Structure 1
Amino acid sequence: MSQHVLPFKTLALAAAIILGLVANAKAQPKLRQHTATTAAQVALTSANRTVPGNKVAITTSGARRIITSNGLPSHAVGSFPNRGNPNRISAQSHRFVVPVSPKVGAARALARGASFGVAINGVPFDPNAAEFWLGNPRSGWDYNALGGAVSLGFDANFAHVQPSGAYHYHGLPVGLMQQLGWSASRPSPLIGYAADGFPIYALNAQVDGQVVRMTSSYQLKPGRRPGGTQPGGPHDGAFKQDYQYVAGSGTLDECNGARVVTADYPRGTYAYFLTDAYPTIPRCLRGTPGQGFGKR
């Protein structure tokens, strides 16, 4: 009976692949095994620490707008690491490229782990959190980052830090809004740019000569979750899947956007709005995403 002996090169390649897979598995952070099903008020740490050295540049080159930054916030932040977030802020090498004149198209869902956009201080907007029911991304139940069911160690800017050291926003960038002179009685100043190039504003817009609070069209689903092998309890906002889009229930579309006239776009533009209710940061785009916003 003959035996088939693999060539040495084949064995070496197989060994290298196995070692690479093992090393990659070790490098991946282990997901937490959450069982919480009840929404709660988000606990925020005071933003009383400064991180010197913010660097950001926004330039245009032909049809492209290029935003480069070190990702260090321009405002005070909370204490990191903290109980809900074990990571320390560090400088990054962000480079985002978006179209100067984006086109409105059909809504496309934001890829899991992708950034929605970047603030004008160079800090990314990341609406989703890598937290799942039972720690399983395939469960179909993603925790709402601002649902309060799990502690994510946010500071008063609704921001925290990735394992890479990247500071990023999950909600209203309060410190930045204060720096920009945001006021409830005036239209929002420009807050940033979405991945497709459309502008981002916060809460307020000018509509027919009046300042209007722009509102989300997402509502909590009625009834209760399935239970059993899935989360139970009422749809209370602990999970993203607790919400559904109800056209016309707010002033904004499914991507938290609307066409408006602003000081930056006096001829009018489609724009996204950060809201004080879910989704706060939009979860879909109406244009084609540019570069630098993929999974980080």
Structure 2
Amino acid sequence: MLFRKHPAPATAPALAALLVFALPPGLATAHDITGEILTDRSATCADHVAANSAKATDLHNSQEYDGAVTITTDGASCTITSNAVPNHDFNTSKGFANPFSVQDQSFTITANPRASDTPTPLSLMMDNAVFLNGVKLDQVAAGCFGVGDGFIGCNDMDTPYRFDPMGGASNFGTDAHNAHTQPDGTYHYHGNPMALFNQDTPDGPSPVIGFAADGFPIFGSYIDDDGEIRKATTSYHLKSGTRPDGPGGSYDGTYVDDWEYVAGSGDLDICNGMVQDGVYGYVVTEAYPHVLGCFTGTPDDSFRKRRPGRD
């Protein structure tokens, strides 16, 4: 195990998140990525091998944490291990429902991703991706209209009107980085991390900011369209009219069911991916599905959740 958790002195609560880790061969020191904007567009996970550190403050609780993330490779796969502390301040809203907690998490991705014959749907059983700052992406909410309090307990993926935490009138208590904490305190994104890549008028296409569970890279929002640098567009669109049952009302993006895929209507495919410079990868978008619509390849079992039903 690359990380070893050390208890912090009672007089230094800011060190409660500190993890001591072994550096990958050839790296003498950890690189501080606090607030860093990435630039590398390599889709090869081995090109991102590193041992990184960061400082982040829980702004609502005025507590500082030390982030740690290592990326290693054995040639056939890469492993990203972290304590789930982001490389930016967080909890900028009125406060998370669940207190933030340091984790010890590890994800393995294949170094040679392959497209499956048919896409694999997203589900509550699997985390979707991990970003290069060590924070995971978990897009699927466990809340549906008419099930419990609407925020948790909707474990049947066939239940209609599942909330989109990023959409419409959804109120999932996310912060300025489209993230919040799960019941066990794990900080995770639901969409664009609003970090890691230039969000406004970059000089070139966006870098790789993470890897999906199937091994394909995730790029930031901007693509090079014959010399024009612009945001990629999703091929999902809001349905017209009003919902025939359930919550009723207009299709406004509050629920996943409000959207429909129209092939060829945008830059991206049904899984929200495209080929850039000969390499397939997912792209962060402003509209649904935000990052991944499904898995083009086969997700690794290391992304399987310890228990289902967490938002």
TM-score range, shorter chain: 0.7 to 0.9
In the alignment, is residue 224 of structure 1 matched against residue 242 of structure 2? Answer: yes
Compare relative contact order (CA 8 Å, sep 6+) and give the higher one, 1 or 2: 1
Equivalent residue number for residue 22 of structure 1: none
Alignment of 1:114-263 (within 5 A): 114-135=126-147, 137=154, 138=156, 139-177=159-197, 183-227=201-245, 230-261=246-277
CA distance in 1, matches of 2:271, 2:136: 17
Quick one: structure 1 residues 157 and 113, their matched pair in 2 at CA, closer, same or farther if it must change by over 3 Å?
farther
Show CA shifts across 1:197-242 (max 9, x none). 1110111122444423211000111222122xx2211211110001
CA distance in 2, matches of 1:260, 1:89: 37
Equivalent residue number for residue 284 of structure 2: 274
What SS class does the counterpart of residue 164 from structure 2 fall into?
coil
**5+ residue gaps in structure 2?**
1-57, 149-153, 307-311
**Range with bigger deviation, 113-122 or 155-164:** 113-122
What SS class does the counterpart of residue 241 from structure 1 fall into?
helix
Report deviation, 1:58.
0.8
**5+ residue gaps in structure 1?**
1-45, 262-267
Equivalent residue number for residue 94 of structure 1: 105
Report deviation, 1:79.
4.6
* Percent identical residues: 40
Q: Is the 8 A contact 1:223 1:234 kept in 2?
A: yes
What SS class does the counterpart of residue 196 from structure 2 fall into?
helix
Structure with the largest fraction of helix: 1
Show CA shifts across 1:111-137 (max 9, x none). 225221000000001111121111262
Equivalent residue number for residue 41 of structure 1: none
Whose radius of gyration is greater, 1 or 2? 1
TM-score, normalisation: structure 2: 0.71
Equivalent residue number for residue 289 of structure 1: 299
For residue 156 of structure 1, what is the amino acid of its counterpart?
A
Which of 60, 66, 73 lines up with 1:60 in the alignment?
73
Equivalent residue number for residue 16 of structure 2: none
Report deviation, 1:47.
6.3
For residue 253 of structure 1, what is the amino acid of its counterpart?
D
Q: Is the 8 A contact 2:178 2:193 kept in 1?
A: yes
Q: Is the 8 A contact 1:255 1:272 kept in 2?
A: yes
CA distance in 1, matches of 2:187, 2:241: 36
For residue 129 of structure 1, what is the amino acid of its counterpart?
A
TM-score, normalisation: structure 1: 0.75
For residue 64 of structure 1, what is the amino acid of its counterpart?
S
Report deviation, 1:77.
0.8
Report deviation, 1:291.
3.1
CA distance in 1, matches of 2:232, 2:173: 28
For residue 163 of structure 1, what is the amino acid of its counterpart?
P
Q: Is the 8 A contact 1:47 1:155 kept in 2?
A: no
Q: Is the 8 A contact 2:93 2:176 kept in 1?
A: no
Q: Is the 8 A contact 1:50 1:77 kept in 2?
A: no
**Range with bigger deviation, 161-170 or 150-159:** 150-159
Q: Is the 8 A contact 2:93 2:174 kept in 1?
A: no
Q: Is the 8 A contact 1:215 1:250 kept in 2?
A: yes
Quick one: structure 1 residues 72 and 248, their matched pair in 2 at CA, closer, same or farther if it must change by over 3 Å?
same
CA distance in 1, matches of 2:114, 2:189: 25
CA distance in 2, matches of 1:276, 1:47: 25
